Amino acid sequence: MTAIDPKPLTNALPPLSSEEILEIGGKCLLGNVNRLPLAFVRGEGTRLYDAEGREYLDFVQGVAVCAFGHAPAFMAEVLKEQAGKLVQVSNLYYNEPLVRLAKLLTEASGLPRAFFSNSGAEANECAFKMARKHGFDRDGLKRTNIVSAINSFHGRTMGAISLTGQEKLHEGFRPLVPGISFVPYGDLPALDKAVDDTVAGVILEPVQGEGGVAVPPEGYLGDAAKLIRDRGALLILDEVQTGLGRTGEDFAFRHFDVTPDILTLGKALGSGYPIGATLSSEDASKALGPGSHSTTVGGAPLSMAVALELATRILDPAFLEDVRAKGRHLKDGLDLLKSRFPELVSEVRGIGLLLGLALGSPAEGYSVALRDRGILVNATAGNVLRFLPPLTVSVSEIDYLLDALAAVLSLKPRE
């Protein structure tokens, strides 16, 4: 038997320059993403560094993924320790980190059943199947329809993209999964009209992140939940972006005094390690019996150990209070900018550290201007600058962003 060298073989590879990374990537990667001409080789907390050592303050953080910033030391330690013990055993067996994480999340959410996958999109696929099967078990093929919201985003698989209420993302992929309809987000009369005895479930985001950081009207989610359940359907809340501390609560549904039948998580749960979770009520969970749904790597000890450490830290009440305080500070600063630049800024949106600045013109130019100053901010929904710092961001870093944003807004508006 040939012995395996324990030393990584790739350590001897010579480092690439930013230009070389971009050149190779342009030749070898699928052209399905409009990547910016930036390449990063190292990160630490709120900072990213390219091969030449240029530093960027990152208010994107993998699009709300890196809850503790880049390369937190404790995460590397957990990965190292668990990788030395057990990486994967398949879902044919139990493993300790799996059941510990399931216990933590089910007790925190009040939803007693958990399924783990590899991404938020997969978590939504599971929720989709669960709702449809639940409706079928109740009323047969009559009750298999799903209602979603216009401007929603639920992922890129065929099922998740079919649930996504953005026509531009459907182009070229039709026919989509049938039986899905869309209503305006936050419009209760429209939802009332759409949910009948053919609907198995309704999927909503507590805050529409990709849809421009849209927050529902007061009372909407509570009224929607009652309407949906009164008609025999399930309420699915997609908290892939909002869940686990992003809004200053363990789950964003706390802000709206409502608990879903199915809850989906991702992003912060792995903070860069691929993971998704679908939590559900006992009644909803019965729809997926043995053999009805699974995944090869979901629930693997390595991912479960990392997520267990991350979720334990995020769910600490003192940690969440700190997130709320910094969210208020950032929002107050954005509100001040709105008052200073009323001709440019139309609205400040969001909750906690998921905030957006809606502009009266395209946001991309302002995002580029900030990037030129060494600050990364995401432009979404055409005219919204979205701010997604790590949950560990400092007040001084927030103030640095606000000062730079004020300087950029003072310039001639960009088209």
Q: What CATH number is associated with residue 388? A: 3.90.1150.10
Does residue 36 sit within a domain?
A: yes
Residue 302 makes CB contacts below 8 A (sequence gap 6+) with 79, 82, 83, 86, 87, 88
CA–CA separation, 363 vs 115, rounded Å? 38
User: What is residue 290's DSSP assignment?
Assistant: T
E strand or H helix that includes residue 375 = strand 375-376
When divided into structural domains, the chain yields a total of 2
Picking from 158, 264, 124, 163, the residue whose alpha carbon sits closest to that of residue 206 is 264
* 3-class secondary-structure state, position 231: coil
| 166 and 284 co-located in one domain | yes
The boundaries of the domain holding residue 361 are 9-71+317-410
Structure tokens at 145: 């329809």
pLDDT of residue 11: 85
213: domain CATH number is 3.40.640.10
Residue 187 inside a domain? The answer is: yes
Candidate list 58, 68, 115, 238, residue with the active-site label:
238
Asked if 153 is an active-site residue, the reply is yes
Residues 405 and 334 in one domain: yes
Rg (CA), the chain: 22
Q: Which of 59, 116, 128, 153 is catalytic?
A: 153
Token pair, residue 243, equals: 């869940």
Give a yes or no: residue 258 inside a domain: yes
- The DSSP secondary structure of 2-56, one letter per residue, reads PPPPSS-GGGGSPPPPHHHHHHHHHHHS-S-S---S--EEEEEBTEEEETT--EE
Phi, psi of 15 (to 5 degrees): -65, 150
Q: Please check whether residues 277 and 301 belong to one and the same domain.
A: yes
Domain check: are 305 and 327 in the same one? no
Strands of the sheet with 145-149, listed across from one edge: 113-117, 276-280, 262-265, 234-238, 199-204, 145-149, 180-183
The pTM assigned to this predicted structure is 0.95
Q: What is the pLDDT of residue 135?
A: 98
**What are the start-end ranges of the H helices in 195-316?**
220-230, 282-285, 301-314
Residue type, position 6, single letter: P
Q: Which of 261, 282, 314 is the last residue of a domain?
A: 314
Instruction: Tell me the CA end-to-end span of the chain in Å, nearest whole number.
Output: 64
pLDDT for position 8? 86
Are residues 225 and 330 located together in one domain of the fold? no
Residue where one domain finishes, among candidates 280, 314, 348: 314
**CB 285, CB 113: distance < 8 Å:** yes
How far is residue 360 CA from its own chain's centroid?
26
Tell me if 227 is assigned to some domain. yes
pLDDT at residue 79, rounded to an integer: 96
**Residue 118 φ/ψ, nearest 5 degrees:** -115, 0
Same domain membership, residue 55 and residue 161: no
Strands 354-359 and 345-351: antiparallel
Contact 277, 105 (CB under 8 A): yes
Nearest in space to 88 (alpha carbons), one of 97, 100, 101? 97
Q: Which residues pair with 58 in a beta bridge?
A: 376
Same domain, 382 and 267: no
Assigned token pair, 374: 């060494």
Last residue of a domain, one of 249, 282, 314: 314
116 is catalytic: no
301 and 328 part of one domain: no
Mean pLDDT by 10 residues, the chain (415 residues): 79 93 96 93 97 97 97 97 96 96 98 98 98 97 97 97 96 96 98 98 98 96 97 98 98 96 98 97 97 94 98 98 98 98 97 97 95 96 97 98 97 59
User: Is 3 inside a domain boundary?
Assistant: no
Residues 321, 309 within the same domain: no
Task: Check whether residue 329 and residue 292 sit in a common domain.
Answer: no
Model pLDDT, residue 108: 98
> Is 301 contained in some domain?
yes
Looking at residue 39, its amino acid is A
Quick one: pLDDT at residue 1?
59
Does some domain include residue 296?
yes
- Whether residue 266 is found in the same domain as residue 376: no
- Residue of 267, 326, 331, 387 marked active site: 267
Are 404 and 261 in a shared domain?
A: no
CA dihedral 62, 253, 128, 126 (to 10 degrees): 60
- 27 catalytic per annotation: no
Q: In this predicted structure, what is the pLDDT of residue 7?
A: 84
Residue 399's pLDDT is 98
Q: Is 4 inside a domain boundary?
A: no
Q: Are the CB atoms for 303 and 116 separated by under 8 Å? A: yes
How many Cβ atoms from other residues are within 10 Å of residue 271's Cβ?
A: 27
- Looking at the DSSP assignment, which residues form a beta bridge with residue 201? 146, 234
